[in-house]
Amino acid sequence: MFSKSKIQEPGPKATEGATPAASEAPAPKPTPSSDYKPTAPKAKPPASVLSSDLNITGNLKTTGDIQVEGTIDGDIRAHLLTIGEGATIRGEVTADDVVINGRIIGRVRGIKVRLTSTARVEGDIIHKTIAIESGAHFEGSVQRQDDPLSAKGKAPLAPPAPKPAGGQA
């Protein structure tokens, strides 16, 4: 059996005939090996937040996370993209994870796409997995792909239905 005192003692096993002074001596601290480098888990940087008073015209591209609360006229590419309730995006959205609480006018591409109850999407969604909460507003088509982020296997989606011309039905 092991005992607590034996675990704390460095070196060879202590003999039963050891003097009490020797067993009470502080254990020498182990010297760190030059091979060992402690690694603390890297803290994930927080998402970049684009505030509600921000209007951007142009494309955004990052390998990090973005939370949009304002208005963007352009395409967005990110790792995790969260669209706030008051946000509006006009353009194509591409991300590993897309959480839509606000409005998107354009195509959405994501491995995981989630439309919350406050979402408004007008455009096509290409996804690997999708979740649409009750109350979400969606106009467009949905297509499942194993790799929705790649532009290669881009299959054309159904064209929008033609609108009747000036009062002729």
Q: Are 110 and 95 a contacting pair, CB within 8 Å?
A: yes
Domains held by the chain: number: 1
Rounded average pLDDT over 95-118: 97
Question: 60 lies in a domain?
Answer: yes
Strands 125-132 and 108-115: parallel
Q: How sure is the predictor about 68, in pLDDT bands with cuts at 50, 70 and 90?
A: very high
Q: Does the structure show a pLDDT above 70 at 112?
A: yes
Identify the residue with better confidence: 83 or 152.
83
CA distances from 55 to 52, 68, 115 (A): 8, 10, 23
Residue range(s) defining the domain that contains residue 134 = 48-144
Asked if residue 14 belongs to a domain, the reply is: no
The stretch 140-163 carries a mean pLDDT of: 72
Instruction: Specify the DSSP element, H or E, that contains 128.
Output: strand 125-132
pLDDT (0 to 100) of residue 35: 64
Flag whether 126 is in a domain.
yes
Q: Which two tokens stand for residue 98?
A: 């897309």
